[in-house]
Structure 1
């Protein structure tokens, strides 16, 4: 009888740990996305004029993407399980230029000297802090 009790205890610990890992991962990813989506006008790095860039965020799990929307990533995170591959991308045609900048002449002959905003890179660089914050809160 003691063996069954011990096994049940180990299984309960395993299940609780998996749930905690999922919660920490999900909350930390949400922090990264929300930080990346933060407009410059509110202290963030994302340039916002019409909102098209913010609303072009698409997300998905395991190679499947949903339609772009500013808050659609919440649905993706709610379905996330340990072992899944979560992906997030801003799909506006100019998103890459807004992130990395562009210097030179484009295919239409327009010349640019546009520095990058690094809204994604700067948010992703905070990953260790976000994980540590949520790991300390999850019990």
Structure 2
């Protein structure tokens, strides 16, 4: 009887782990979609197929952050070239668990104003269901 219980417990734990992995990977994918450069005033030729506008200093894209819970404070543009580092975002997402609220946000004080024109975050968020479905399919294939 102990063997059956252990087998059931192992299967349940595997599904919980899969659920958490799908959640984390889906948040990571949405972050990457949202940050993919697209055409903008300073980047009229496009980008890499995304919608994120790239400005003169790159501060808007570099201001992207992830937190668990409380949204981060807004920041003013330092007026010099800045670059985006996805590492800290990945670390926050890796530490998230099912039930946590992962906030993906741009801390540039002007982010909302620019978003009204380019809608990059909304366009990424619209893909949530399809991203989760794809990651679920991949996870289930690994369990077979």
Pairwise same-fold verdict (TM > 0.5): yes
Which residue does the alignment assign to 2:127? 126
1:44-123 equivalences in 2 (<5 Å) = 44-49=50-55, 50-63=57-70, 70-71=85-86, 72-100=88-116, 116-123=117-124
Which protein shows a greater Rg? Answer: 1
Where is the strand percentage greater, Structure 1 or Structure 2?
1
Report runs of 4+ in structure 1 exceeding 2 Å deviation. 62-66
* TM-score of the superposed pair, with normalisation by structure 1: 0.79
Between the two proteins, the alignment pairs up a number of residues equal to 121
Secondary structure of the 1:58 match is strand
Unmatched 5+ stretches in structure 1: 101-115
For 2:12 and 2:18, the matched residues in 1 are separated by: 10
Contact 1:47 1:117 in 2 (8 A): yes
Which residue does the alignment assign to 2:42? none
2:33 corresponds to which of 26, 32, 35? 35
* TM-score of the superposed pair, with normalisation by structure 2: 0.76
Cα RMSD (Å):
1.9
Q: Cα deviation per residue 1:38-84 (whole Å; 9 max; x = unaligned)? A: 11122211110221011111211133759x96412101111111221
Q: CA deviation at 1:124?
A: 0.5
Secondary structure of the 2:98 match is coil
Secondary structure of the 1:88 match is strand
The answer to which of 69-78 and 16-25 deviates more is 69-78
